[in-house]
């Protein structure tokens, strides 16, 4: 339900409706229609029980997922485990960072993090919001796409995070290739997304967007969702070995996320670059 990647030169900005055409522009995995949708959400982005409520509460499990993933692969020095800054000295890239809901907590854990997004309004919002906490000096936000970013930052990062992003991307192969290119060898990539099943179609899209209204209308397109084994295959093709896949469950009554073994609605993947 988040935002995304490639910057379109402003003179090529495409009108809504012709979005699919624009999405297939050279080098771009971005769907311009969705970018327009996301830019419109900026006013409520940081309100914890607003339209982005599920993404705020998702932090409760996805931050530990990234943190413990990095710890378990041995990238974190033992002396930093169980301290306030376990990710000290690590370089992270967040692709599709939006307004910075996930970027800020990761930055507080001590890493240097670059957040990129193809929605300019959201990047500006993120830049504005980080000023509220003086400790967030190690965040760099860029209005950029991962394809473009990979050109100049290949092999630079210990970890790449793309949470709730890949389901909005047009060309997933190019997207993943670029993400992986940014990683150092043995670096970790963390993805969370929706599965492509009947259940997601009913609950993830129809019910969430129209009945419960916990997800903005038009945020997800079923055709763009991906099954875990296909995503795993894509990661493998791009030189990554999957370490874990967890299912995620959202209780909309209590606004709580929890890990489950069943991946049929949404799931998280942690893979390591060979």
Partner 1 sequence: MAKNSILLLRNYMQYALNLHTKTYCTKTPPHYDIIIVGGGMVGTTLACTLGKNSKLSDHRILLLESGTPHNWIKTEKYSNRVSALNLNTYNLMNKIGAWKHIAEIRCSSVKNMQIWDAISDVMISFNHEEVSNVAAHIVENDLLIYAVGKELCCLKNVEVKNQVKIKEFVLPQQPSQNVFVHLNEGETFTCNLLLGCDGAQSQVRNAMGVNYISWKYDQMGVVATLKLSEANENVTAWQRFLPTGPIAILPLKNNLSSLVWATTPDHARALIELKEVDFVDKINDALWKPLDNSSIIQESTKAFNKLLEFFELPTSNEKQLPPKVIGVDPGSTAAFPLGFGHATNYVKQGVALVGDAAHRVHPLAGQGVNLGFGDVSTLNKILGEAVYSGRSLGQITDLQEYETLRQRHNFPTMVAIDGLHKLYNTEFPPIVLLRSLGLQFTHALNPLKKAIINQAAR
62: annotated binding-site residue?
yes
117: annotated binding-site residue?
yes
Tell me if residue 254 falls in helix, strand or coil: coil
CA angle 93, 97, 103 (to 5 degrees): 70
- How many residues belong to the site for partner 1 (CB under 8 A)? 20
The first and second tokens of residue 14, run together, are: 């495409």
Binds partner 1 (CB under 8 A): choice among 4, 7, 42, 108? 108
The first and second tokens of residue 37, run together, are: 């949708």
Q: Is 101 in the site for partner 1 (CB under 8 A)?
A: no
CA separation for the pair 13, 85 (Å, rounded): 41
163: annotated binding-site residue?
yes
Q: Is 19 in the site for partner 1 (CB under 8 A)?
A: no
Of the two residues 60 and 217, which places its CB atom closer to partner 1 in the complex?
60
Of the two residues 26 and 135, which places its CB atom closer to partner 1 in the complex?
135
Of the two residues 11 and 82, which places its CB atom closer to partner 1 in the complex?
82
168: annotated binding-site residue?
yes
CA separation for the pair 267, 167 (Å, rounded): 12
Q: Is 133 in the site for partner 1 (CB under 8 A)?
A: yes
110: left (phi over 0), alpha (psi -120 to 50) or beta: left
Q: Is the dihedral of CA 38, 39, 40, 44 positive or negative?
A: positive
CA angle 102, 107, 109 (to 5 degrees): 105
208: annotated binding-site residue?
no
Binds partner 1 (CB under 8 A): choice among 67, 149, 168, 220? 67
Q: Which residues bind partner 1 (CB under 8 A)?
A: 48, 57, 59-60, 63-64, 67, 82-86, 104-109, 132-133
Detail the residues annotated as belonging to a binding site for S-adenosyl-L-methionine: 62, 96, 117, 163
């Amino acid at each position: 339900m988040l935002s995304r990647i490639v910057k379109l030169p402003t003179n090529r900005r495409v009108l809504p409706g012709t979005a699919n055409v624009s999405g297939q522009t050279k080098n771009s995995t971005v769907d311009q229609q969705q970018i327009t949708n996301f830019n419109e959400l900026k006013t409520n982005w940081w309100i914890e029980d607003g339209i982005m409520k599920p993404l705020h509460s998702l932090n409760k499990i996805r931050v530990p997922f990234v943190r413990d993933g990095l710890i378990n692969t041995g990238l974190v020095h033992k002396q930093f485990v169980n301290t306030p800054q376990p990710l000290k000295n690590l370089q992270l890239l967040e692709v599709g960072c939006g307004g910075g809901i996930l970027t800020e907590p990761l930055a507080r854990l001590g890493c240097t993090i670059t957040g990129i997004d193809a929605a300019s309004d959201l990047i500006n919002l993120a830049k504005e919001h980080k000023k509220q906490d003086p400790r967030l000096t190690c965040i760099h936000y860029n209005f950029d796409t991962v394809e473009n970013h990979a050109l100049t930052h290949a092999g630079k990062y210990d970890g790449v995070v793309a949470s709730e992003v890949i389901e909005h991307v047009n060309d997933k192969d190019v997207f993943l290739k670029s993400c992986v290119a940014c990683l150092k060898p043995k670096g970790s990539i963390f993805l969370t997304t929706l599965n492509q099943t009947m259940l997601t179609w009913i609950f993830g899209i129809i019910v969430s967007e129209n009945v419960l209204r916990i997800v903005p209308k038009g945020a997800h397109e079923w055709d763009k969702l991906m099954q875990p084994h296909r995503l795993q295959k894509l990661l493998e093709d791009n030189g990554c070995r999957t370490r874990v896949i967890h299912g995620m469950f959202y209780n909309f009554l209590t606004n709580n996320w929890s890990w489950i073994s069943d991946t049929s609605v949404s799931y998280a993947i942690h893979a390591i670059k060979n």
